[in-house]
Homo-oligomer: A and B are copies of this chain.
């Protein structure tokens, strides 16, 4: 166990300390530590040895100020409470890891005023780019994004006008496609169960897509049930029970996410309700966690990881090229899984 015995100093070490310890100018030390410019092998080694011996850790704050380059990407998402955004984060992290950029996360709790505050906070670090969930922002937030002078990628949703770039799926289309599956399978009495939607724009758009498409087939939503907070699996059970008791002839349950759909499925199985014969079920998200549930739930994959990866890629490319705007529009195809809870 070779301990590098750095003294427990109060004042953090600076380049000057390394410079003095190695007898080389600060500038050359800086060059060595960043692998920049031509430095002789001998000098390089002396500097590296000194830095390591002292336990020097560079100060990025100073470096960023001097170079006008901040290798941070602001990531602004509504929540960490279900797997959706952690998965997006995973895609972002994995993509950025190969380069110099690092993600910094801000959570909005689905509140526009929090989003505004978090965005302001983030922008004050002068990040190299912003990845932000959704296309709906307050006017002030949009203004900040538009004037930040850095690439902005709005993610998850493509139904609307982005400030700069957008990566995601069309939730309207997702709702429409599911409606086609449902009506195509012959279901007639359809219920929608989901989160309270005033601020969950993506769930709202799926709902709108669904109802519009059903309307074209002469069908309409026969019952609805909403929740907020609590254990999703448990809420799925409760809401399903409420709907089926209130409207016993319901023959299809469309949930706004897979977790509540799984709760609903478990409720049906427990109560001897035949799925998909008597009642069909579909969710949304393609949560990998649930792949093991039998019967497999019909769902659509929101491509969360890929969304994160593509968004990060846009920022990384812009940063490399020194551009402050990308103007890309990437609409991914949500993969439909029929599973065994929807007749075909």
Contact = CB atoms under 8 A, between A and B. Distances in A.
A300 B93 CA distance: 30
A58 B124 contact: yes
Contacts of A259: 289
Nearest to A292: B233
A280 interface: no
A98 interface: no
A139 interface: yes
A23 interface: no
Contacts of A35: none
A214 interface: no
A310 interface: no
A24 interface: no
Interface stretch (A2-10, A173-181, A186-194, A217-225): A2-10
A27 interface: no
Interface in A289-328: 289-294, 324-325, 327
Nearest to A232: B289
Interface stretch (A40-48, A59-67, A205-213, A246-254): A59-67
A146 interface: yes
A16 interface: no
Copies in the complex: 2
B161 A2 contact: yes
A70 B232 CA distance: 38
Nearest to A66: B65
Given A3-B327, A143-B3, A12 B149 contact: yes
Contacts of A59: 124, 126
A123 interface: yes
Most buried by B among A64, A125, A288: A125
Interface string A253-276: 000000100110010001000000
Interface size range of chain A in the complex = 35 or more
Contact of A324 (B8, B234, B270): B8
Nearest to A7: B147
Contact of A147 (B8, B103, B291): B8
A279 interface: no
Contact of A3 (B62, B139, B262, B293): B139
A123 to B, nearest CB: 5
20 contacts: A1-B139, A3-B327, A4-B143, A4-B164, A6-B143, A6-B146, A8-B324, A10-B149, A55-B147, A61-B64, A61-B125, A62-B65, A65-B65, A80-B87, A81-B90, A102-B106, A102-B121, A234-B291, A266-B293, A266-B294
Interface of A: 1-4, 6-10, 12, 55, 57-62, 64-65, 70, 80-81, 83, 85-87, 89-90, 93, 102-107, 120-121, 123-126, 139-140, 143-144, 146-149, 161, 163-164, 231-237, 259, 262-263, 266, 270, 288-294, 324-325, 327, 329
Given A1-B329, A59-B124, 13 more contacts: A2-B161, A6-B146, A6-B147, A57-B123, A57-B144, A60-B126, A61-B125, A65-B65, A83-B83, A233-B289, A233-B290, A235-B292, A237-B292
